[in-house]
Amino acid sequence: MRRRLLAATVSITLVPLLAALPASPTAALTAGTTFSTAASPSPATPAPTSGKKPRYDATIRWTKHGIPHISAKNFASLGYGSGYAAADASICTLMDTLVTGRGERSRWFGPQRRYDDHVSMNGSNLQVDTLVGDLHNRRVVEKLLVGKAGPKADTRQLVTGYVAGVNRWLRTQKVTDPACRGAGYLRPDLKPIDLYYGVYLANLLASTGVFVKEIADADPPSLTDPGLPELPLRASQVDRDQLLKALGKDPARPFGSNATAVGGAKTSTGKGMLLGNPHFPWRGRYRFTQQHLTIPGRYDVAGASLIGSPAINIGWNKNVAWSHTVSTAYRFTPYEYKLVGSPTTYLTDRGPRQLEHRFVTIKVKRANGSVGTVREDLYRTDQGYVVDSAATLMPWSPASVWAIRDANAEHLRTIDTFLDMGRASSVRDLLRRQDAAGGMSWVNTTAADRKGDVLYADHSVVPHVTDAMKQRCLTPVGLLLDQVAGLPGLDGTFAGSSCAWGTDADAQRPGIFGTKNLPATVRRDWVMNANDSYWLPNPASPLEGYASIIGCERCARTMRTRMVSQYVIDRLRGGRKETPATLASHEHGNRVRAAEVMSVGGDLDEVCAATGETAACAVLKKWDRRSDTTSVGTHLFEEFITRAPADALWEVPFDASDPLGTPRDLAETNPQVVAAMQDAIDFLRSRRVAFGAPWGRLQVAGDRGSPAIPLGGGLGDAAGNANALASRLPRDNTNRFRPITYGSSHIQSIAFLKRGLSARTILTYSQYENPRSPWSADQTRLFSHEKWVTFPWTAQQIRRQLVRTVRLRG
């Protein structure tokens, strides 16, 4: 009996009263309770014996709120623990992500059901599988794995271990989440290639992923579909908002974040501080989970990872803290090719070429539950996939066809980038490591370090398209795209020669800008970004002279950018400095910058008074210009600002010499502005929403299975909430006015101290997505009360908050 137990490596230590606890850590809730086990492996992963060393050996210590602290002696074992913990917190979304990466959505969910990653990729399961199936047929990821643009050894080990950890969880644990319980794809047969394809698809979020439908459904023009939409001739004829929406940059549904870093010259500690708040979906693959990864003496980093990422994406180590915001740069360029002779023959400077016509066989679930196959097709040029996209001015017509070259389709370096950033010793070292890896796919970086330096950089993956090359290569329609949306449409005839992407000597690989041609600044006072372009990380030192494909310069800032900056400006006024507490307090300040600006001189009240709606205007007049749960009147303002005419709202327009102070002076006598206020009031009345209702009764958590927890914060870019929240489909608690499913997510306020650091965090939608878990809404309640989690960083802090310990060997 003793030999059998040793062979199975089972060692269980229980606090007596908890002897009946189930294997899932969500069942162990009492602080300080420890549960140590290495559960018996299944036959698929034989248990180590006294004569055989296990391949993986990781220890997971769960602390309050379900936060896993994983320690191991190597990256393979570290990944093993990370994968197991990720599966425990998010098995349904994790497996959904891997099913997508395998190109099997139609097989399991049916071909006609919609897939929506809640950011950019949106199409039927069949359309998604068509694209992903072709990526597999072309062995895109397999080829990247063996090239310079592929991952290094540590990353390979981490990924291999992560997948093994997920498989271990699937073998030994029971899925209780109703979202996927009993699903046929919940099998412990995952391979590292599945995860790599999942990560690769995330790379394509802002590029190929935007055009899934337009790639999968692209067909040559025919008699029944001649491909002759009426295209505009001038930029003034283009609906800019609709074009941006079709390009994945919908102004009404922004995808973004805030990050502020304050340097030693302006902090009470003389060291760096960071406040980061990514605004991400509360459902789906772009949810964060928190984790802490440690290889003693070699690696120690904590923070948050997107589901399916074995590395920390946003976080800190003992010397550096960083966060990310979505960059304005484009990751692709469209090429327009002239057609000659037939709709599938295109012209190059080497003569006519035939489009590559490719076919994909896809398994599909039939209505009766059986599985069949369908055959789909798509087209490519040498540069990339053909798109048929009239909404982006790129239809497949009898005269021309468009294809996109995608810079993020040419690498598999994302995990490397984040993994190596965790080793950084300063913000300069952080950027150096980021640049060397070359896989920062679509975000800016804002960081602070122990030395007191702060960094802002947009060193993301950007096609090497200089303004000079752009002007030389724009087609007439490509010029419209560039004028309206900042996206250069290039001449495909010369895509392999004079209109090919350039290369910088300091770039990680050909085709992208190197470090000297990308914007960055290191300072001692402060920097920020809230998804506007790189131009103004600090008003004292604008960044200028970069290629327009990265973003605009001397251009208007959103009200959210103005609010994030204003918090710091107001705090530092009169020689004061930021303290760890004051920087953290900006997260829940919930000031509404647009309302502050519009209220100068009583303009906002005058607009309301012009409607004659005395009851609503009395509420608006008393409103505190905030979006706290106790604020009364926030809903009136938000409904007004969403209807207000952007081109007729201000008396003083934007001035690049005063970018944080303009535009200003509400046009209170403009009939369009008054009409917008009247429409807002009428809408609330039609919905039977009381004018005097506190904001927290109207705005509540709306993620899957969540109680209707009151939430502060609100509309971001237009209203100027730094604590940006939004209500998007699908959502729960629809009986409430504004159930939240998007916005503030993993928030971290990190301050370096003389000894150690202070780490305040909150995961707004909580760590576990299973509504049955006690860790599915606990942090949401803290967020509602404007409280923080004191993240356990040191060994002593972990012991104090310890809930359960598991040692995994296999």
190: its two tokens:
């995952």
DSSP reduced 3-state for 406? strand
Active site residues: 257
| Rounded Cα gap, residues 421 and 435, in angstroms | 10
Q: CA angle, corner 490, sides to 489 and 491, nearest 5? A: 135
Using CA atoms, how far residue 662 sits from 557, 565, 722, in Å, is: 9, 13, 18
- Closest-CA residue to 154 (of 42, 94, 72): 72
DSSP reduced 3-state for 393? coil
Q: From its phi and psi, is residue 715 left (phi > 0), alpha (psi between -120 and 50) or beta?
A: beta
β-pair partners for 457: 445, 520
Is the Cα dihedral 636, 642, 648, 653 positive or negative? positive
Q: From its phi and psi, is residue 408 left (phi > 0), alpha (psi between -120 and 50) or beta?
A: alpha
CB 651 within 8 A of CB 667: yes
| Rounded Cα gap, residues 431 and 194, in angstroms | 29
| Rounded Cα gap, residues 21 and 28, in angstroms | 7
| Nearby residues of 174 by Cβ (< 8 Å), 6 or more positions away | none
802: its two tokens:
């310890």
- Closest-CA residue to 682 (of 605, 622, 613): 613
Asked if the peptide bond before residue 43 counts as cis, ω within 30 degrees of 0, the response is: no
Is the Cα dihedral 133, 127, 486, 281 positive or negative? negative
Q: β-strand 288-295 against 386-387: which pairing, if any?
A: unpaired
β-pair partners for 743: 280, 725
| Rounded Cα gap, residues 627 and 589, in angstroms | 9
- Closest-CA residue to 168 (of 104, 103, 91, 97): 91
In eight-state DSSP terms, residue 349 is T
| Rounded Cα gap, residues 59 and 64, in angstroms | 17
